[in-house]
Amino acid sequence: MGGIVLLAGLLARLGRRYGFPTVPCYMLVGILLGPGTPGPVLIEHPEDIAILASLGLVLLLFHLGVEFPAEQVLGSGKRLFIAAGVYIGLNVSAGLALGFALGWGTSEALVIAGALGISSSAIATKLLIELRRLTNAETPIILGIIVIEDMFLAFYLALLSPVLNDSGSTADFVVDLLVSFGFLVLLFALARWGARAISMVLNSREDELLAILMVGLVVLVAGIALEVGVSEAIGALMIGLVVSRTSLKERVEQLVLPLRDVFAAIFFVSFGLTIDVGDLGGVALPVAIAVCVTLLTNMTAGIVTARLFGFNQRAATNIGLTVLGRGEFSLILATLAITAGLDDRIGPFVALYVLVLAIAAPLLASQSRHFARFVPDRLLRSRWRYVQSETMSTSCMHQDQMEITETDIDVCQQCVADGGTWVQLRLCMKCGLVACCDDSPARHARAHYEDEHHPVIQSLQPGADWQYCYVDEILVREPLGRSRTTS
């Protein structure tokens, strides 16, 4: 086991150099060095590390619960919930339809719906950092969608647990479903009113003891969840939510992070060990269809979100492609499906699907500027024809020079004086000069910037509500919830 984990770490380190996430690297090592692939086999029986893999799953979901910013989501307004609802609804519905279209049963289709429906928060966050988009206008919306997906995850797991447990009659299914949601309600109540008691149980000045108490509590709750017919994943997620409301949240986050990374790597390697490479060819066509469907639904959701928030085409493609990657949650669902004895094709299907999107997402997201050109203006709220591929940012080094935002002038005075014509007008936000755009023959707005070094202009075209910084080469927009004062 030591050898395969070491190789997984080395391959992940190599992948990081080329911008790839770690999850597919761990999976790939498990697939290539497992019993389902011809050649050297480091672990003959994947069940030998099943306990460690389960601990990885539990710690992965626990950490997700601990870092869950519930207050941020609840205060984000209904537009964010609409955007997240559209994203989740489109992807889950498409996954469910695909599952049925492939001839699988209801249980398998529900697993496929979840696997296609939820993006990888790890991959999305990593892309935002590596592509330097943390100050982009659309980034808070992307993060909000990811957080709401995590909320949906808890309820979806509760819904799926009785299905995976193969409840016999309708009455048994209803009872199992009520037990699952009852367990959820109990843990939500514990988060609301019992955080202080949990804090007293865990509290210790020594990190060693806090880590032991924390792991013991997480494993205990996950085990209780299994006993009552709910997956260990949802038990771990919910106790994480409880801990997130205690005064120990930051210390627990720091302590659980290295444990999560080590055991989560074992979980992903273990999943790869269960995949027979010979089965991947049989699911190649369904996976290709699933990838195309996911790309289509993500881009549609990105456009809808951009329209809701008044973003341009570049922001729309950034949203859709940043959350394109699939990872930990899809693999968790596949693992639960395999454990429940569902169709054997689910494991290879989800494995190949995650691998393809984990590789494709960083490549496509880095080229979002080019995809933005194919999104027509009529699909969005404002007119972005001239700046559809420009980055929208909430931060600009020259915002102190955005002094003038209104004018009564509706001509390019220099063009009038020269007897010339113009296409559109721009307002210099430093001195108030009105000049013609870059598509006009004289390009007086840019010439004014080059002469006077006034960096920020505003479009005066009706329906085109944007400002542009020549120096930073970005569209400038105040953070959501704030408004710029006018002069």
Identify the CATH number of the domain in which residue 434 sits: 3.30.40.10
Chain-centre distance for alpha carbon 472:
27
264 falls within a domain: yes
Look at the block and give the residue holding tokens 């004086």. Answer: 417
pLDDT bin (cut points 50, 70, 90) of residue 327 is confident
Q: Any bridge partners for residue 392, and if so which? A: 475
Confidence of residue 285 (pLDDT cuts 50, 70, 90): very high
Q: Report the percentage of the chain scoring pLDDT > 90.
A: 29
Per residue in 249-264, pLDDT (tens digit) is 889 988 988 998 898 8
Q: Which two tokens stand for residue 420?
A: 């010339």
Q: Are residues 70 and 118 in the same domain?
A: yes
Three-class DSSP category at 435: strand
Total domain count for the chain?
Answer: 2
- Rounded to two decimals, the pTM is 0.71
Other residues' Cβ atoms within 10 Å of the Cβ of residue 203: 14
pLDDT of residue 218: 92
Specify whether 364 is located in the same domain as 450. no
- Find the mean pLDDT for residues 348-372: 88
Instruction: Give the integer Cα–Cα distance in Å for 331 and 347.
Output: 8
Which of 338, 372, 406 represents a domain boundary (last residue)? 372
Q: Are residues 38 and 87 in the same domain?
A: yes
DSSP 91: H
| Number of Cβ within a 10 Å radius of residue 184 | 19
Q: Are 299 and 180 in the same domain?
A: yes
DSSP-H helix ranges across 228-283: 232-243, 249-273, 277-280
* Whether residue 386 has pLDDT greater than 80: no
Query: DSSP letter string over 321-367?
Result: HHT----HHHHHHHHHHHHTT--TTHHHHHHHHHHHHHHHHHHHHTT
Q: What is the mean pLDDT of residues 31-44?
A: 82
Domain boundary (337, 372, 407) is at: 372
Are 136 and 98 within one domain?
yes
CATH code where residue 294 lies:
1.20.1530.20
Tokens 């000049």 label which residue?
A: 435
- What pLDDT was estimated at residue 160? 82
Domain contains 340: yes
pLDDT score recorded for residue 69: 61
For position 358, what pLDDT does the model report? 81
> Which span out of 46-55, 93-102, 455-464 was modeled with the highest average pLDDT?
93-102
**What pLDDT is stored for residue 479 in this prediction?**
60
In a domain, residue 487? The reply is: no
Pick the most confident of 37-41, 270-274, 344-348: 344-348
How far is residue 96 from each of residues 81, 107, 112, 163, 201, measured CA to CA in Å?
A: 22, 10, 6, 14, 42
Residue given tokens 């430093």 in the structure block: 430
Residue 378 counted as domain residue: no
In a domain, residue 193? The reply is yes
Sequence letter at residue 453: H
Is the same domain home to 401 and 364? no
Which residues make beta-bridge pairs with 393?
Answer: 136, 476
Q: Is residue 149 part of a domain?
A: yes
pLDDT digits (tens, 9 = 90+) for 115-145: 999 888 777 877 787 787 877 888 888 878 8
Burial of 442 (0-12, 13-18, 19+ CB in 10 A): middle
- Give per-residue pLDDT as tens, 332-346: 888 888 888 888 889
Residue 281 is given by DSSP the state G
Pairing of strands 392-393, 474-476: parallel
Q: Check whether 11 has a pLDDT greater than 80.
A: yes
Q: Which residues of 171-182 are buried (b: 16+ CB within 10 A; e: fewer)?
A: eeeeebbebbbe
Domain-embedded: residue 380: no
Confidence band of 98 (pLDDT split at 50, 70, 90) = very high
Q: Answer yes or no: do 325 and 405 share one domain.
A: no
The pLDDT mean for the chain works out to 84
Of 465, 463, 472, 403, the closest CA to residue 433 belongs to 403
**Among 107-116, 181-190, 349-358, the least confident range:** 181-190
Gap between the Cα atoms of 391 and 372, Å rounded: 11
Range of the structural domain that residue 412 is part of = 394-476
Q: How many residues does the chain have?
A: 487
